[in-house]
Structure 1
Amino acid sequence: MIKMLPCFVKKLKIVIILGLTAVLHQPALADENYIGMIKTYQPLAAVLHAGKEIPVNIGAKLYPGDTVITQTDAAVGIIFMDGSVLSLGSETRFEIVDFLFKPAERNVSFTSKVSKGTVAFTSGAIGRISPESVKFITPTSTLGLHGTKVLIEVK
């Protein structure tokens, strides 16, 4: 089920604006396996990485296979290497299934799984280079991105 929630959209606008502001000051990346990072968050969120639950903090790196989980009244803003911006709302479970960004070779893809919660996504270079390569898997469907913005709610 996809629908807009007025108060959630307002919170997401704040998280997205903060995230976009922060991306302008993003440092050079030394870790080649890194695909994105936490730019903003409100408490009670964690990243599942390599079987360990790690509390979210600003600057935390994200990798393929990571799952970001938010609790009640939590929110997380993420910036990916291609410039995509993702905001997670309260009680969300978001898994990065696949992320490949080699634009010089036109070898790009971004597949994620939203098990529950709300997600707002603004595409970056992957969406511009190959819109069909951006996919969101939900319990009842798979969404392909053919624009620049999407809002997903999974109950």
Structure 2
Amino acid sequence: MDFLNDKGGFTGSATFHAMHLRQAGARLLFFILVVFLSIADPCTVSAEAPQGRVGMVKNVSGEGYVVRDGRRLPATVGFQLLRGDRLLTGSNGTMGVLLEDDTALSLGPSTESTIEHFAYDPARGSLGMVVRVARGVFGYLSGKIAKLAPGSVRVETPVATLGVRGTYFVARIEP
């Protein structure tokens, strides 16, 4: 797993220190803000969502797909995402996703990610999320789950599991 370094490139170290975040902070923050602003909607997504719905595709460029129940469906703006959906982008594809708790996910070219678990019901105290990233470039910007229940968000990769406590990051995963 690679992380964005202070030169705007990637480093092979799986350890990502706060010092590196400060050094790369301006570039990373700019990237995340551009991604978030490109997928953000002026209206807030309601916590009252249809059963199993976890979010929606906010933008897609090039090849983007959602694999659901073994079927590969073209990702389009507004496509409703469900728990268990696998998100894929082709070599020329990118995708922006906004989850029900306002978490923003950004998938770069040749990325594969699955929404393994998603629970957002603050009234009942049901909060948690697990996203698995198998390969590609993946951006994450925390939403309400990470703010209301720090430690209940995980991003899993083939080589590491990241516990998210309310933050943003970009990582490149190479199988």
* Superposition TM-score, scaled by structure 1 size: 0.89
Q: Following TM superposition, by how much is the alpha carbon of 1:73 offset from its aligned partner in structure 2, in angstroms?
A: 2.1
Q: Following TM superposition, by how much is the alpha carbon of 1:94 offset from its aligned partner in structure 2, in angstroms?
A: 0.3
User: Retained in 1: the 8 A contact 2:53–2:81?
Assistant: yes
Aligned counterpart for 1:78 among listed residues 74, 92, 97: 97
Q: Distance in 1 between matches of 2:33 and 2:91?
A: 18
Aligned counterpart for 1:24 among listed residues 42, 60, 65: 42
Structure 2 CA distance for partners of 1:129 and 1:12, relative to 1, 3 Å: closer
Question: RMSD value over aligned CA atoms?
Answer: 2.2
User: Retained in 1: the 8 A contact 2:129–2:153?
Assistant: yes
Spell out the pairing of 1:5-154 with structure 2 (5 A cutoff): 6=8, 13-20=33-40, 23-25=41-43, 31-154=50-173
Bigger-Rg structure (1/2):
2
Q: Following TM superposition, by how much is the alpha carbon of 1:24 offset from its aligned partner in structure 2, in angstroms?
A: 1.4
Q: Which letter maps to 2:42?
A: L
Structure 2 CA distance for partners of 1:50 and 1:154, relative to 1, 3 Å: same
Helix, strand or coil at the partner of 1:132 = coil
Q: Following TM superposition, by how much is the alpha carbon of 1:15 offset from its aligned partner in structure 2, in angstroms?
A: 3.2
Q: Distance in 2 between matches of 1:65 and 1:126?
A: 18
Unaligned runs of 5+ in 2: 11-27
Q: Which letter maps to 1:24?
A: P
Helix, strand or coil at the partner of 1:131 = coil
Q: Following TM superposition, by how much is the alpha carbon of 1:114 offset from its aligned partner in structure 2, in angstroms?
A: 0.4
Helix, strand or coil at the partner of 2:145 = helix
- Count of residue correspondences: 153
Q: Following TM superposition, by how much is the alpha carbon of 1:17 offset from its aligned partner in structure 2, in angstroms?
A: 1.4
Q: Which letter maps to 2:76?
A: N
Q: Which letter maps to 1:136?
A: V
* Superposition TM-score, scaled by structure 2 size: 0.79
1:102-127 Cα deviation digits (max 9, x unpaired): 11122111001100001111111100
Percent identity for Structure 1 against Structure 2:
27
User: Retained in 2: the 8 A contact 1:2–1:151?
Assistant: no
1:35-73 Cα deviation digits (max 9, x unpaired): 100001102010001111000100001011100000112
1:78-117 Cα deviation digits (max 9, x unpaired): 0000011110001000000000111112211100110000
Q: Distance in 2 between matches of 1:131 and 1:91?
A: 30
User: Retained in 2: the 8 A contact 1:87–1:120?
Assistant: yes
Unaligned runs of 5+ in 1: none
